[in-house]
Chain A
């Protein structure tokens, strides 16, 4: 089973932009490896015939009508004028 060593934790912390002190980093290899050990039970379940596009609501292609808003049609030197957002 996969384990997470200190170098990998450092790499993950870098990916996640977390500045964790060397001392604090020490606790994570064991804790994270324990979690991986737990989730290994998923291997007991055969998922070879299962699609991997799970979506919680089963909603598909929720479309909204395109509505032309007159106030957004005013152009300025060939550009659209939009509301200021900042």
Chain B
């Protein structure tokens, strides 16, 4: 039991939300499938032999199966959008600093963002409106006005939407078909599609791998067995591996070559996005390169988490907001997610674009809920 409530929990309760409970996730949020959870994995509601994606997988499953209308996830790099895409729900990662992290276990402190996982874009807008805003208890939270996301959702805005080939490399053919269909829909809705060039997402993986590990090593150092009950021997293999690599990247002699270099490339990733957002309002791309994997298959992939999160990591590195919504169904019976990314603090454009696409895309989210009634 937590000794105090997180700011977002308090805010939601103040606005009349009923907190139903906690959901499953990878231990310390270290994972992309919930398979590293100390409580066992969650299962994909569309096919229970498959994972729901992680780390906030339990939240996505509960929403997809209709157990609850909405849930909160936390994302360091993909942990909201990946399970949302694989479980057929909406997942919104806000701008870094938009939503308070007070009361949430720190993972990668310069990346972490809590955000809503919901059945619809409108619900995501509603939750963000409640959750967003400055918090004196979180020194990194941003003191910027929070727009009325819900009432401005249905504005008939025509947006300029960027498409980057760099986000299509090694993406499953059927996912690409859904992405292309969505692009056509967005064009038919009167939006302008523009080809843009972005830095290849593989560099964001490296930046993430080094900086997140370093921050994990530093954050988890406070788990000394005194203040939080259990000793350090309770860390699982995944946490151990991350702590070791982070300790390496931060240690004397390696700091410049790894930590500092990654920080500099991260700077360039953000600049790259900033440049593109002078030309377009939002960027559209697939959320994941493939659909959900089978339970137990994660060990078959080298760098499983990084590879599944490859398309979500750049936005996280840059601290910009992004949203994943269902855009189709794969012939394997698993959902396909597409994502919009927007400029820093421009969740408004993100939500408007996602809302319009959601109204026009074919995706049956109700029949899976009937299965679990």
Binding site for B on A (CB under 8 A): 2, 4, 8-9, 12-13, 15-20, 24, 28, 31-32, 34-35, 38-39, 41-45, 47, 50-59, 62, 64
Contact = CB atoms under 8 A, between A and B. Distances in A.
B287 interface: no
A43 to B, nearest CB: 8
B163 to A, nearest CB: 23
A31 B209 CA distance: 13
Nearest to B109: A56
Given A56-B111, A59-B97, A47 B210 contact: no
Contacts, number: 106
Nearest first, the 7 A-B pairs at minimum CB distance are: A47-B264, A39-B206, A56-B319, A50-B264, A57-B97, A56-B96, A54-B263
Contacts of B221: 16-17
Given A2-B254, A55-B110, A56-B319, 7 more contacts: A16-B217, A18-B240, A35-B245, A45-B265, A45-B268, A59-B97, A62-B139
A25 B237 CA distance: 10
A23 to B, nearest CB: 12
B251 A38 contact: no
B202 A18 contact: no
Interface in B227-249: 232-233, 235, 237, 240-241, 243-245, 247-248
A29 to B, nearest CB: 10
B325 interface: no
Contacts of A43: 261
Contact of B206 (A42, A50, A52): A42
Interface string B90-114: 0000001100000000000011000
A39 B139 contact: no
A14 to B, nearest CB: 9
B96 A57 contact: yes
17 contacts: A9-B244, A12-B251, A18-B240, A18-B243, A32-B248, A38-B205, A38-B303, A39-B209, A42-B262, A42-B265, A44-B203, A50-B268, A51-B267, A56-B319, A57-B96, A57-B319, A62-B139
Interface string B333-373: 00000000000100000000000000000000000000000
B268 to A, nearest CB: 6
B295 interface: no
B43 interface: no
Nearest to B316: A56
B260 interface: yes
A50 B272 CA distance: 13
A18 B251 CA distance: 16
A53 B267 CA distance: 9
Interface string B264-288: 1111101000000000000000000
B63 interface: no
A35 B111 contact: no
Contacts of B237: 24
Nearest to B271: A50
A2 B264 CA distance: 20
A58 B251 CA distance: 26
B2 interface: no
